[in-house]
């Protein structure tokens, strides 16, 4: 049986509860919900990338990618993405940012499945994204 391995990039702060930023078991790799915090800096509290949906979405995608890389995966390995938005009015803008990001990554041919839901997030946060990858 394969062991579970917790994945936490050096750029991420320790989670505020008992969970991992990513967990890999065998060829299955789950990235926990990531938000638009800037990379961790010693002595600094988590800082939101900016007040706009664009700033937070791009940083959130970068944070997901960081966890994927740390676990030996890439966007090519991702089968499912879940997007959590705080405002239904952000859907169209998020789609534009999301589509442009994956187009830049060259991943428009067979994009991952995606679900978008609307939630309440802590103050200042507009978006959260998680991902499920299967390797090899």
CA atoms within 13 A on the CB side of 25: 6
The model's pLDDT over 73-114, given as tens digits with 9 standing for 90+, comes to 999 999 999 999 999 999 999 999 999 998 887 766 678 999
8 has a pLDDT exceeding 80? yes
71 has a pLDDT exceeding 70? yes
Structural domain of 123: 4-134
Instruction: Give me the pLDDT at residue 109, please.
Output: 66
Instruction: Please compute the mean of the pLDDT values over residues 8-19 and round it to a whole number.
Output: 83
Separation between Cα atoms, residue 19 and residue 33, nearest integer Å: 10
Tell me if residue 49 falls in helix, strand or coil: coil
Instruction: Give me the pLDDT at residue 16, please.
Output: 75
Total count of domains within the chain: 1
132 has a pLDDT exceeding 80? yes
**Pick from 66-70, 108-112, 122-126: least confident:** 108-112
- Is the model more confident about 117 or about 102? 117
The model's pLDDT over 26-62, given as tens digits with 9 standing for 90+, comes to 999 999 999 999 988 766 778 899 999 999 999 999 9
Whether the Cβ atoms of residue 105 and residue 75 lie closer than 8 Å to each other:
yes
CATH number of the domain encompassing residue 70: 3.30.1330.40
């Amino acid at each position: 049986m394969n062991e579970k391995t917790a994945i936490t990039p050096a750029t991420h702060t320790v989670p505020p509860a008992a969970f991992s930023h990513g967990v890999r078991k065998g060829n299955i790799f789950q990235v926990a919900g990531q938000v638009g915090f800037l990379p961790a800096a010693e002595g600094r509290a988590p800082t939101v990338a900016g007040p706009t949906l664009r700033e937070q979405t791009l940083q959130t995608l970068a944070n997901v990618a960081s966890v994927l890389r740390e676990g030996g995966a890439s966007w090519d390995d991702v089968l499912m993405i879940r997007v959590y938005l705080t405002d239904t009015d952000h859907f169209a803008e998020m789609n534009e940012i999301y589509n442009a990001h994956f187009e830049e990554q060259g991943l428009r041919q067979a994009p991952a499945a995606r679900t978008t839901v609307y939630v309440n997030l802590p103050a200042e946060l507009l978006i959260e994204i998680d991902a499920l990858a299967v390797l090899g």
